[in-house]
Structure formats: structure tokens, C-alpha cells
Amino acid sequence: MQGVKDTRTREEQVRDESHSGDRPARGASPPQEPPTPAAKNGDKEPPLWNNVITYVGLFAAQLFLILLVTFWLFTLVSKTTNPYVDVVGYMVLPGALICSLLTVPVGILFKSWRLRRRNPHQRLRFQMPRFDFEDPHQRRVAIAGAIGTALLLPIVGVSGYHGYHYTDSASFCSDACHKVMEPQATAYEHSAHARVSCAECHIGSGASWFVRSKLSGTRQVLATWRESYSRPIPPAIHHLRPARETCERCHWPKKFFGEQLKEITHFASDEANTRRVVDMLLKTGGGDESIGRSEGIHMHMTLAGNIDYVATDAKLQVIPWVRTTDKSGAVLVYRSDGLPASDPPPAEQVRRLDCMDCHNRPAHKFRSPQEAVDLGLEVGRIDPGLPFIKREAVAALVREYEDQNTAQAQIGASLTEFYRTKYPDLFETRKAAIFQAIDHVREIYRACFFPVMKVDWRTYPDNIGHMISNGCMRCHDGLHVNQNGKRISHECSTCHTFLNRDTAVAKDSVIRQGEFIHPYKLEGKHASLNCSECHTGGTGPQPNCAACHTTQRAFRDGTSPSFQSFGIKAAPMSDAVDCDGCHDLSKPTTVAVINGQCMECHSDEQDKYEGMLSSWKAEAEQLLTKAAQGSDASSLRLLAELRAAGPLHNIEATRAIVNGLSSGRSSTAAAAQSEKSP
């Protein structure tokens, strides 16, 4: 009928047109359908997409898409990078965009659940949409959707690709978690592996280790966000991929052969900073006889069999059990815990020896103060002509500081004050050299000390060598014995040959192969000590007995803090006789030998001094045994400290302490008895 306005909505018109083919003929009655509960109530089929959650998701998706495109444009025009911006651009924005798109169906499902909850008979139609591209409206929607998809998929795909690579980069590992990973990142930048990405060593190739690392990384990110991480963070040795799948992709120990010349330069802590060079041949060796003899240090890794071990501590420094299996299947078990080889190994994990068990700090080594200052002196960053600069620089580094700023200020103040007061003339004439030395010592502290994370050279022992940590001596200590009674070698010549300069013939022109020559003569027990028992990497050991035997020296001088309440005094011979006057290190340390030393001076008083030490020893043992009976925990600790100090170093003090402990117990017993009396 003309002149009558069509008041139907666009959706009703499209629906009517789509069903026009099903209309009955003119004049026929339309088929009647049974009314549904919803129709009876007059309810319509509401659009499920029309809800707040879906709208928010669509709006957020548009917003994050705009931000992501903006980030891309920014990376194209900017030459500088920022790790925190990269985290947002490659990880946060793509993830937020995907979450926003997922919110759209969540909103639809949530609305359908609410409608069903209000009216169980509500009609909800989930059907595939009908596309009619002859309809201009649907055509415009389809074109917009296609363009949006064409833009969205590449953006999300490229962002995911860059995000994947960014999470494997050194920048992400170090800079994004700056405070936590600052020590490792700083050491990495100064290492020989600074151009190798973190993922190449910590993850390697393959999906399984990638997934495992990302799951672990998620936990670490949460710990960083909550600030619940350990300080310092534990070493990664327990979670690293086997070295054959990472390290040996670049390094092939089997192909190493021969010996390597290594020169180590030390500077003494004396006024002249005396320089001393140690030359040695390291027997690196290898296992491929087509290029050289199968021998040397890397035989550990190139044997046809395997080497397994058990460490009883988290840092893998205490190894009481080692098992070797050769190519024929023969097994040897070496133990240092005194148990038979046939006994089960310790309860801890049995580990297969690989590169990382020795090369455990290839990219994250923190130099000790001694090593770092020696290097500075050798390359000229610190002037060796400054008196005592080695001693004072190390002393400034090993002090405890609250943070980096405090350390930088106090290192400069302490070194400046030393030269201003001790060497005023030199301070005025050599200011430039002094300030250059101060700057380098500060640089050493920034590279090797991290107070906030509680990291320095002592935190992570370096197993290469055995100078300031046990390293090789974890197994090569001469204490590991197999079922046949054979020990793991403890000889220096097993791994290196020293090239000693014969200065008696001609200065530095004659080299003699031989054993290591220590700058101080080591005799007796001292000759069998591990280097790390004296050399800590911090303040160097003093070449005298008192520097190490502080407890014995203090007891002899009557200055032991624990025994001051007993009124002890110095031994009569404290000032008259040095330690080596009684202890000849070239001879066994027995009472008979020491008594002979006494008689060399008191030969004219043989009746008075002959056998005196033996009688003192018998008396002291009797006193200590009697004092231990019925003693409480505090008294037993004092008696243990007395035994460690050596009762014969001050026999008068020993008597006073034992008598004091006995008198104290008697007084306590008398007081308790008087309380029980009526």
C-alpha cells in the first residue's frame, strides 16, 4: 500500500527478506507453530554481544592495538633502546591485546549465563551468521573485519616473534631485572663470553628446555615482582642443561691437545709491591690420538667411560664419593669418608661429571681483591711505585660497606688519608698517580662487589684451579681411596709443569722445569696444605706463625678473650722465644723432639729441664680429663677451646683455667646443697 511508511527495523526487514521464500501463497493461512514459553511472555531474543564486558574488550583491543603500532613506529625512528620499554612493547602489549580479544567471547558467555539464570525458558540462539554480500551493510562489515584481521594477525605474529627472541636476549636477562641480576650481568659484560647470549648456555636448542626455562622464568619474574628472591641468588649449576648439549657446540675438549703456557703475576703486600712471576705449562691435553697424545686435564671429559660423583653441599665443594667407569666397564669407587667402596654412595644426587663441574664460572666470575689488584698493577692502571698500594688497596676492598655509594666514598677517603699522613711529600708530588689508583680500586669494587645482593668473590667458588677455593682439590686431595687402595693423584706434576727462573745463573734467561717454588719455605704439615687454606683472595697471609695460629699466640701471650675472667697471664717465655725456637718444622711435632729443642739452649741445666714437657703434658691431660667430668655445656666449650690453644703453650694459664672451672662447680654445688638444707 502506497503512502504507508514501513516502520520495521533494519534487522526485521533483513529477516523478512531472508524468509520471503518460505511465505505461503496469497490468501493462504500461515502455518501455526506451538507457542514457546518465551513467546507466551512476549520476550524477544536479545543480542548476546550487547554487554559491558564485550564492549570493554573491544575498546581495550583497539587501545592496545594503537599502542602497539605506536611502539613499532617508535622503534623504527629511535636508535636507542630501553629494556623496560622493550618488555612492554614485545611482551605486555601483545599479551594485553590477546587477552582483550578473548574478553569478547567471555562477555557473550557471561551474558547468556545471566539470561538463563533469570529465565530458564529464555530463547538463546547460537547459530552461524548468514552472509549476504549483496547486502551493503554486511558487505561493509565484512570488509572492515577482513582489513582488521589482516592488520591484527601480522602485528600479533611479529610481536610474538620479537617477544620470543627478546626473552632470550642478554638485555632481558640482565637489564629488565637490573637489581636482581646486576652482579651476573656485570661479570658477564667483562667475560670472554660477552658476545654469547644467555639462552645459548642456559637453554640451548629444542622445545623441551625452552618450555622448562620459560616456566622457571615465570616463577622468577613473580619472585622479582614480590621481592621474594634470594640474596644472593643461588648458583644455576643444579638446573643447567648438560654441557655436551651447550658448551660443546662451540668447545670440543676431545680436540684439545698438548700443553699451554700460563703466566701468573703476583705483587707482594710489602712497601715495594714486589713483583713475582709464576710460569707454568698446563697439561690441557685431549683425547684424539689423530692430533696428539691422549692425556692431560681434559681426559676427564674424553674418556670412553664416565666419571660420576656425589657432593654433600649445595655449592658442590665437598665431594666424598667418586666413581669412574672405563670403556671396558671396569668400575672404581674412590671415597674420602672412610667407608668401603662397596657401601652405597651418600644420599645426595649422583652427578655425571661434565665441563661445568670445573668451568663453573665461565661468564660470571667475580675476581678476588688480590687477583684484581694484581691485574691493575700489571697493566699499569695502578702505579707499582706507590708504597704499599697493593696492601692498602686490598684492605680498602675487603671492608664491609652498606652500599655502592658508601663504598666509593670510603675507598677514596681511606687511600687518600693513608698517603696524606704516611707519605705527605709523595702525596703532593704524585697526586695524579694516587687518584688514578683510587679510581681503579673503585672500579674493581663496582665490578666485583654488590652489597645489596650480598655478592662478592666468596659467594660463588670458582673451581678452575685451587688457589682460593678447593677447585681441583675437591677430588685431588690425596684422601680419596678406591677399593684397590689407590688414591686419586695429589701430585702437582699431574696437571702442570713449573718453569722456574734460575736467577743464580743469569737473570730470567735460564728456565728449569720442576716443582713449584713457594716464596716462603714450606716444611712439615705446611707443605701438604691446600693453597686455599692460606690464600683466601682477600688480605694476604703474613709470613709468620702468629698470622695463622692466632688462638695459640693469644693463649701464649695471655690475651685470649675467652679466658680473661680466670686472670691468666703471659707464659714466662712469651717474649723471649719465638715459635720456631721450639717448633722445627723439618722434624716431627712430638714432645720428645720439642724437648730436644729446649735442651739445645738449656744444656747446662739438664737436670732441671730434661723431661719437663713430658710431665707438663701428663699433668695437662689429667687436669683436662678431670675438669670435663660433670661439666656443663659452657664449661665444655671452654675446655675445647683450651685444647685447641695448646695447654703446653701456657701451662700456668691452663692450671688457672681448670682450677677456676672446678672452683665454680664447687661453689654452685655448695649453694645448691645449702638451699636443700632445712
> What's the pLDDT at 392?
96
Query: How confident is residue 624, by pLDDT bands cut at 50, 70 and 90?
Result: confident
* pLDDT at residue 304, as a whole number: 64
Query: Is the predicted pLDDT of residue 161 greater than 70, yes or no?
Result: no
Q: How far apart are CA 228 and CA 164, in angstroms?
A: 26
Task: Convert 607-641 to b/e letters by CB count within 10 Å (16 or more is b).
Answer: eeeeeebeeeeebbeebbeebeeebeeebeebbee
Residue 501 three-state SS: strand
Do 492 and 516 meet the contact criterion of CB atoms below 8 Å apart? yes
CB atoms within 10 A of CB 228: 8
What are the cell numbers at 655? 692450671
Instruction: List, for residues 299-339, the tens digit of each pLDDT value.
Output: 776 666 789 999 999 899 999 999 999 888 899 999 999 99
Gap between the Cα atoms of 196 and 648, Å rounded: 60
What distance in Å separates the CA atoms of residue 195 and residue 377, rounded to the nearest whole number?
Answer: 27
CB neighbour list of residue 515: distance below 8 Å, 6 or more residues apart? 492, 493, 498
Q: Stretch 439-457: mean pLDDT, rounded?
A: 95
Residue 16 has pLDDT above 70, yes or no: no
For position 572, what pLDDT does the model report? 84
Q: pTM (2 decimals)? A: 0.70
Q: How high is the pLDDT of residue 174?
A: 67
Cβ-based neighbours of 585, under 8 Å, separated by 6 or more? 523, 524, 525, 526
Most confident of 117-126, 189-198, 388-397: 388-397
The set of residues, in sequence order, having a beta carbon less than 8 Å from that of 669 and lying 6+ positions away, is: none
136 vs 462: which has the higher pLDDT: 462
> What is the rounded average pLDDT for all residues in the chain?
80
Secondary structure of 241-309 in HEC code, one letter for each residue: CCHHHCHHHCCCHHHCCCCEEEEEEEECCCCCCCEEEEEEEECCCECCCCCCCCECCCHHHHCCCEEEE
Cβ within 8 Å of residue 81, ≥6 positions away: 171
How far apart (Å, rounded) are the C-alpha atoms in residues 498 and 374?
Answer: 20
The pLDDT, as a whole number, for residue 676 is: 47
**Number of neighbouring beta carbons within 10 Å of residue 51:** 19
Q: What angle do CA 296, 299, 301 make, to 5 degrees?
A: 140
pLDDT bin (cut points 50, 70, 90) of residue 673 is: very low
Our measurement of the distance from residue 556's CA atom to the centroid of its chain's CA atoms, rounded to an integer in Å, reads: 41
Rounded CA separation 73/76 (Å) = 5
* Grid coordinates given for 111: 551474558
Cell triple for 628: 670435663
Q: What pLDDT, on the 0 to 100 scale, is given for residue 106?
A: 86
Q: Whole-angstrom Cα distance, residue 641 to residue 636? A: 9
Q: How far is residue 322's CA from residue 240's CA, in Å, rounded to a whole number?
A: 21
Contact (Cβ atoms closer than 8 angstroms) between residue 370 and residue 394: yes
The pLDDT value recorded for residue 437 is 96
**Residue 249, pLDDT score:** 83
| Confidence tier at 178 by pLDDT (50, 70, 90) | low
Residue-level pLDDT at 1: 44
pLDDT above 80: residue 15: no
Q: Which pLDDT score, from 0 to 100, does residue 284 have?
A: 84
Q: What's the confidence (pLDDT) of residue 156?
A: 64
Among 300, 349, 297, 357, CA closest to 324: 300
CA distance 42 to 312: 78
The pLDDT score that the predictor gives to residue 424 is 94
pLDDT at 493 over 50: yes
H-run or E-run covering 162: helix 136-167
- Per-residue pLDDT, averaged over 511-538, amounts to 83
Domain boundary assignment for the chain? 52-126+135-165, 168-229, 254-362+467-533, 369-448, 545-668
pLDDT value at 659 more than 90:
no
Query: What are the grid coordinates assigned to 223, written together?
Result: 619472585
Of residues 14 and 584, more confidence is placed in 584
- Binned at pLDDT 50, 70 and 90, residue 595 comes out as confident
- Residue-level pLDDT at 121: 72
- Asked if pLDDT for residue 429 goes beyond 90, the answer is yes
Give the pLDDT of residue 176.
63
pLDDT score recorded for residue 163: 63
SS (H, E, C) 314-338: CCCCCCCEEEEECCCCCEEEEECCC
Question: What pLDDT sits at residue 508?
Answer: 62
**Taking 80 as the threshold, does the pLDDT of residue 669 lie above it?**
no
Structure confidence at residue 142 (pLDDT): 75
Predicted confidence at residue 36, as pLDDT, reads 47
CA distance 502 to 509: 8
Tell me the C-alpha distance between 404 and 395, whole Å: 16
- Residue 456: the pLDDT is 94
Local confidence band at 208 (pLDDT 50, 70, 90 cut-offs): low
pLDDT higher at 352 or 78: 352
Contact 296, 283 (CB under 8 A): yes
DSSP states along 515-553: S---SS---GGGGGS-GGGT--SSSPPPSSHHHH-HHHH
Give me the half-sphere count of Cα atoms (radius 13 Å) on the Cβ side of residue 512: 11
Instruction: Please say if the pLDDT value at position 221 is more than 90.
Output: no
Grid cell in block for residue 421: 699522613
Whether residue 68 contacts residue 137, with contact meaning beta carbons closer than 8 Å, is answered with: no
Contact 256, 285 (CB under 8 A): yes
Top-confidence residue, 410 or 55: 410
Burial of 281 (0-12, 13-18, 19+ CB in 10 A): middle
For residue 428, pLDDT over 90 is answered with yes
Percentage of residues in the chain with pLDDT exceeding 70?
Answer: 77
Helix (H, G, I), strand (E, B) or coil at 464: coil
Tens-place pLDDT, residues 35-90: 544 444 445 556 676 778 887 888 788 777 777 776 766 666 555 555 545 666 66
The average pLDDT across 556-585 equals 85
As a whole number of angstroms, the distance between CA 437 and CA 387 comes to 12
C-alpha distances in Å from residue 312, one per residue of 306, 326, 459, 474, 632: 20, 25, 18, 12, 32
Specify the higher pLDDT residue, 34 or 116. Answer: 116
Over residues 528-551, the mean pLDDT reads: 83
User: Sorting pLDDT into bands at 50, 70 and 90, what band is 371?
Assistant: very high
- Using the 8-state DSSP alphabet, how is residue 228 labeled? -
How much is the pLDDT for 326? Answer: 85
pLDDT at 127: 47
Extended strands (E) in 410-465: none
Give residue 662's pLDDT: 80
